[in-house]
Amino acid sequence: MRPVDGGTKQRAGRRGKALGLALAGMLALCAPGARAAGGTAADGLALAGQRQCLGCHQVDARRVGPPFRAIAERFQGRPEASGHLARVMREGSRGQWGAIPMPAQPRLSDVDAQRLALWILSLREAPAAD
């Protein structure tokens, strides 16, 4: 048996994290009373408020970061979108929406990140609020 190097451990860790995110998404979809967004629109907005997402994002207006609906539109039709968005929330990103980076949110659980991602993606189907 050959020894496991650091790269192999990292790949295994990433696969495990991806599997965990996929499982979290499936659980959110299977929860009693859940819709495709992992709950109601009010639940998603409330979770975004609890996790301080609204300090930088709004549903339809740009603040520091892009509006949630613009994110939903950019990722429309991409099967990997919810996992990608959940990962970006937890790990952060640069250069996706301009010069201001998305800071990592390591205290956001995988389950909450997936719930938020599903809610954000559901906004592309909802009419804009008046």
Residues of each annotated binding site for heme c: 53, 57, 102
Instruction: Give residue 98's identity as a one-letter amino acid code.
Output: G
Cβ-proximal residues to 89 (8 Å cutoff; 6+ apart), any chain: 102, 105, 108, 113, 116, 117
Query: What are the contacts of 64-67 at 24+ separation with CB within 8 A?
Result: 64/100, 65/97, 65/100, 65/102, 66/97
- List the binding residues: 53, 57, 102
Q: Which residue in 75, 41, 77, 76 sits closest to 59, CA to CA? A: 41
Give the whole-angstrom CA distance, residue 74 versus residue 71: 5
Q: Exposed (0-12), middle (13-18) or buried (19+): which is 53, by Cβ within 10 Å?
A: buried
